[in-house]
């Protein structure tokens, strides 16, 4: 049984790692709990380590790995809340100030589906993303990224890149034939593809089976 401070610190560490790929600094942890000194953080981490909730990573200074979360943790505790840049009002295809980008079909946010390569529509690229690399759109099918703010029917805007940071949401190609939208975790020679829905499991692949097709930068949502 964890104390309230232990649980709050564990959840804070988990969300920080999931959002940025790195564990928070002692200063960040101290501020998150409104503690006056870092010595209290040292004691809390030691207690979490003794109970098997976190593990210190030997190859990095002060780096932590969350091994497990409390059984009574909520979905918002488990999944960091990705707040997408939602273009209000839905798809505005007549915005003369915007550059159009191709929508290349549907991407599963659940079970991987065949990679899409054919243009099925065009949408306006948000002005703040113009002149900042090459982009394309995909229609989301499924609910496995719902806890990250990505719903079935959304159109995600993807920036074409071949590599992403740990914890970023990306379009990945599996075995050159299946594409899916997931949070990417790299560890050694493996890559884990994480859903943001507790009803879906994490799938782990050899790194050479995965190709990054781009990272999520924004999304459109139609409001009815």
Which residues are known catalytic residues?
A: 144, 182
Helix (H, G, I), strand (E, B) or coil at 76: helix
* Full DSSP string of 197-220: STTS--EEEEGGGEEEEEEEEEEE
Please, is 102 exposed, middle or buried when counting C-beta atoms within 10 Å of its C-beta (0-12, 13-18, 19+)?
A: middle
Q: Percentage helix, strand, coil, to 5, in the chain?
A: 20, 35, 45
Residue carrying the six token digits 């999931």: 18
Alpha helix ranges (H) inside 59-98: 75-78
Tokens of 117: 């390569």
202 is written with which tokens? Answer: 């994490």
DSSP 53-101: SEEE-TTSTT-EEE----TT--HHHHS------EETTS--TT-TTSEEE
Give the CA distances from residue 93 to residues 90, 127, 216, in Å, rounded to whole numbers and listed in that order: 9, 13, 20
Exposure string over 109-120, b if 16+ CB within 10 A, otherwise e: bbebbebbeeee
């Amino acid at each position: 049984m964890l104390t309230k401070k232990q649980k709050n610190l564990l959840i804070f560490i988990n969300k920080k790692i999931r959002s940025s790929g790195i564990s928070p600094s002692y200063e960040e942890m101290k501020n998150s709990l409104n503690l006056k000194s870092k010595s209290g953080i040292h004691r809390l981490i030691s207690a979490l380590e003794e109970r098997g909730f976190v593990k210190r990573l030997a190859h990095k200074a002060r780096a932590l790995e969350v091994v497990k979360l409390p059984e009574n943790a909520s979905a918002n505790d488990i999944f960091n809340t990705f707040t997408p840049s939602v273009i209000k009002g839905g798809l505005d295809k007549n915005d003369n100030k915007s550059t159009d980008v191709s929508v290349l079909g549907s991407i599963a946010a659940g079970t991987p589906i065949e990679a899409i390569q054919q243009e099925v529509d065009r949408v306006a690229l948000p002005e703040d993303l113009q002149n900042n690399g090459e982009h394309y759109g995909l229609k989301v099918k499924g609910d496995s990224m719902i806890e990250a703010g990505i719903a079935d029917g959304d159109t995600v805007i993807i920036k074409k890149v071949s590599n992403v940071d740990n914890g970023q949401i990306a379009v990945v190609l599996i075995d050159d034939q299946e594409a899916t939208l997931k949070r990417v975790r790299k560890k050694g020679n493996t890559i884990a593809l994480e859903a943001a829905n507790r009803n879906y499991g994490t799938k782990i692949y050899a790194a050479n089976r995965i190709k990054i097709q781009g990272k999520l930068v924004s999304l459109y949502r139609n409001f009815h």
